Amino acid sequence: MSYFHRRILSLLFICTVSSSFAQKNSQIKGQIIGEDKQAIPYVNISLHQAKDGTLTKTIAADSTGHFIFGDTKAGRYYIKIKSITHQETFSPHFNLNEQLGGYDLGQIVLLMNNAYLAEVLVQRKKQFIEQQRDKLVFNVENSMLADGNNGLELLNKLPGVVADDNGALSIKGKSGATVMINGKLTYLSGDQLANLLRSTSSIDISKIELMSNPSAKQDAAGSAGIINIVLKKGIKQGWNGSVSLNGGAGRGPHLGGSLNLNYRTEKLNVFGIYNQYHQNLEYFNSLTRYFYSDQSDLPESYTQQENKIQPKLRSNNFRAGIDYNIDSKQTLGVLINGGFGKYPKYEPTTNNFRNFDDNQLVWSSSTITEGKERWQDMLYNINYTVKFNEKGHELKIDLDLVDHYSKMDQQLNTNYTKADGTPLNQPSSRRGDIPSDNKVYVAKLDYTLPLAEGYKLETGWKASHVRTENDLHYDTLQNGQYVPDLTTSNHFIYKETIQAGYINLSKSWTKISAQVGLRGEHTHTLGNQITLQEQFEKSYFKLFPSAFLTYTLNEKNKLQTSYSYRVQRPSFWDLNPFRVYTDPFSYSEGNARLNPAYEHAFELGYTFSNKYIFTLNYASRTDVVNDILGRDLSNPYITYERPENIGSFKNFGVSVIAPTQLTAWWSATHFANFYRNEYEIPQDGGLISRKGNTLALNSQNTFKLPKDWSIEVGGSYASGMTVGLSQIKSYGQLYTGIQKNILHKKASIKLVVNDIFRTNSRRYETVSSAIRLVGRSNPDSRTAILSFNYRFGGNAETNSQRSTGSEEIKNRL
């Protein structure tokens, strides 16, 4: 063979191999979005040959609306997008060039299918759990298991979330979660946050978002992450709304109702929502306190406490607002969000004091505690948005004022008896006046700028100022008259100013998308203990980096990893050294010396077939804030709880989410989470190690029956957990519901039964150097609730949800 022929054959071989390699790696990609520029997940996309419309392949978009047709031969194509809620859409014809190795269709906008939307809104049901880049979304609106519950009860049904009656929340074993409502911090903590969640009816909740590693755009507060409760809002064109009613009983009657009205045109959107919620509750608690001396490993005495709590929740909440489209690029909005309610409690308590050696009764007490708690909560917001173009270049401005006031009038009356039943000492009485007045001012600016070559820049600034005042007074009964107890009364004013700025830079390539961010926060605090004539002041600056990386291996396999550095600032209540008595022998108090806790958090996730989600997580926290136990120096029978920086904390975990479609009529979502908590706690000159493993399971099953009937069955289980000095034992619950659509599917009737076997009680043990507590809490968790919901009006849907700048502070009041 001649040299010329050999050269020709070599060139042909190289071209053939190069062509095959190029064809093998040629891709078609893009993203599906709506008219509101929000991603549309899981829509079906088919690839067709342009010459005759022959179908080549069909795929589904992922949870962020992105899609990739991999390993596609060169040629001329078009794609077709089908969605039940949007109009069928075809792309222009395009050439896939094997030399370039791919074609990017960019963002494809789908228009709403107005003719079919009304029926779809009733029939279409989102997947209960959706994984997005920076959050896990629970679509509770369409789950009948959410009906008839309050927000606190609903959070405890979510996989990986634990919410106690005192407002403390944790995510996958990590305490210190921050709560937002509609993207806005609640600015509450402790009992105030618990009352807000109790007064929020699940009827008004659309979805709940868990952000374990928020981006730099979000406030750095919340070491365990952020829980965002998204409330329903009318989003159809024209007049529309809904009416909801529910009633039932646990240990007492439960009643609730909600009215939602909305009017929307192309220029104007006016909405108003009001709900009322009544619950008569009854809790039973038992607690044994073991008292130790410094020289003995065995307790010297112990007390057995039994109490019954009978609160009556009465809440009223409302939201009203106007969004006005000044022109095609500018929108001005006004929002008012408020609520008022009361939570009176009647609480009889008995305490039996015994010697440990012979278990003999020494003396006992009987206490009646009455608390009349009430609150008013108002938020005023003005917001402005300007969209400079259709590519995402925009500016948002928010101004907020939050005004929260709460007051507790407390009365404790106690009788004392000897072991033989005869009176011991005189009866004692204590009354408390416990007010809290909080004001928050927030200004926030967010700017988004798309750059060349697919880069996007997000930056912003936020300033917040908080002032909280507590003027607590206790009186005790002496010689038949109440006199001020100056040793427990306290007047405290706290001010906090935070200046924050952030920057995020993101970019997407063929298979990789990445985002890096940096947030800087300068914090200045001033505490004034007027009663003690003492002040403390702190000023510090911190940088909080974050990073996200997504790698799409192919159509069915995707890897995600994220990192964030976060802070858990002490709540304003935790910093206030005032005391609140739960009974004559126990109280809780704040600690003005608390420091913030800081946490490094990492996550690695793997998604298979756009629905199975596997996650590994690790977190390391310093200066952990946790309650410690102690004995009052003035009376060894009185114990207290006080927050302290107790040491370091590590959390290791693995979780899996598995949605299944077992049959055409049976769908389910399953969640499993195994994690390990490790604490290193300095105490008595040494280092105490507290470690524990937890297995948490959650399952929700939906069964579709003929004639528009459906049944849901769900359950959760936790094998126990280690939280600071406490060990919580295993607990779980099983719940079910049945639903029927009526009135041409515009209305529905649901019956929900919660905690069927009453297994959701909490058993716990807390150990300190001088005290060991062993207790059990039996909540009013078994309820049966019948609800009715009717929807009216409207003919088209848009997607608009306002969130403002004051979200990250109220959580700590």
CA distance 367 to 461: 52
**pLDDT averaged over every residue in the chain:** 85
Name residue 45's amino acid: I
Look up residue 19 and give its DSSP letter.
H
User: Per-residue pLDDT for 765 more than 50?
Assistant: yes
Task: For residues 136 and 763, give the distance between their C-alpha atoms in angstroms, rounded to a whole number.
Answer: 29
Tell me, rounded to whole angstroms, the distance of Cα 686 from its chain centroid: 36
Is the per-residue pLDDT at 294 higher than 80? Answer: no
CB atoms within 10 A of CB 116: 15
Range from 45-54, 113-122, 190-199, 648-657 that averages highest in pLDDT: 648-657
DSSP conformation letters of 743-769: TTTTEEEEEEEESTT----EEEEEE-S
Per-residue pLDDT tens for 137-166? 888 876 766 666 778 778 878 888 888 777
Strands of 38-126 (E only): list them: 44-49, 55-60, 66-69, 75-82, 89-90, 94-96, 102-109
Contact criterion met (CB below 8 Å) for 436 and 192: yes
- Tokens encoding 708: 């528009």
For 665, the token pair is: 């009529």
**Residue 542 burial by Cβ neighbours in a 10 Å radius (0-12, 13-18, 19+):** middle
Q: For residue 114, what pLDDT is reported?
A: 57
Residues 6+ apart with CB under 8 A from 676: 173, 651, 652, 653, 691, 692, 693, 694
- pTM for the full predicted model: 0.79
Q: How confident is the model at residue 801 (pLDDT cuts 50, 70, 90)?
A: very low
Q: Which long-range contacts (CB under 8 A, 24 or more apart) does 727-734 make?
A: 727/690, 727/692, 727/764, 727/765, 727/766, 728/762, 728/763, 728/764, 729/762, 729/763, 729/764, 729/765, 731/759, 731/760, 731/761, 731/762, 731/763, 732/759, 732/760, 733/757, 733/759, 733/760, 733/781, 734/759
User: For 70-79, 228-237, 418-427, 741-750, which range has the lowest pLDDT when averaged over its residues?
Assistant: 228-237
pLDDT tens readout for residues 527-560: 898 888 888 899 999 999 999 999 999 888 999 9
Q: Is the pLDDT of residue 368 over 90?
A: yes
Residue 39 binned pLDDT confidence (cut-offs 50, 70, 90): confident
Q: Mean pLDDT highest for which of 116-125, 480-489, 569-578, 775-784?
A: 775-784
Closest CA to 609 of 564, 541, 556: 556
Q: By the 8 A CB rule, do 777 and 789 touch?
A: no
Other C-beta atoms within 10 Å of 437: how many? Answer: 15
At residue 359, does pLDDT exceed 80? yes
Gap between the Cα atoms of 461 and 569, Å rounded: 20
E strand segments, 479-596:
481-484, 490-508, 512-529, 534-552, 557-568, 579-583, 586-589
pLDDT at 684: 67
Please give the Cα distance from 171 to 214 (Å, whole number): 13
Q: Is the CB of residue 469 less than 8 Å from the CB of residue 490?
A: no
Q: Burial, 99: exposed, middle or buried (Cβ in 10 Å; 0-12, 13-18, 19+)?
A: exposed
Ordered by where they begin, the domains of the chain are 3-115 (2.60.40.10), 238-310+321-793 (2.40.170.20)
513-to-58, 138, 550 alpha-carbon distances in Å: 23, 24, 5
Q: Kindly give the pairing relationship between strand 361-387 and strand 345-355.
A: antiparallel
Could you give the CA distance from residue 587 to residue 591 in angstroms, rounded to a whole number?
A: 13
The per-residue pLDDT for range 239-273, each reduced to its tens digit, is 888 899 999 999 999 998 989 899 988 789 999 99
Helices (H), 480-601: 572-575
Burial of 600: CB neighbours in 10 Å, binned 0-12, 13-18, 19+: middle
Ramachandran assignment for 652, one of left (phi > 0), alpha (psi -120 to 50 degrees), beta (any other) = beta
482 φ, ψ (degrees, to nearest 5):
-85, 130
Candidate from 87-96, 628-637, 747-756, 799-808 with smallest mean pLDDT? 799-808
State residue 388 phi and psi, 5-degree precision: -75, -30
Residues 644 and 626: beta-carbon distance below 8 Å: yes
Q: How confident is the model at residue 23 (pLDDT cuts 50, 70, 90)?
A: very low
**Side-chain-facing half-sphere of 269: CA atoms under 13 Å:** 22
567 close to 811: Cβ distance less than 8 angstroms:
no
pLDDT over 80 at 751, yes or no? yes
Q: Is the pLDDT of residue 9 over 50?
A: no
Percentage of the chain exceeding pLDDT 70: 90
pLDDT in the model for residue 205: 84
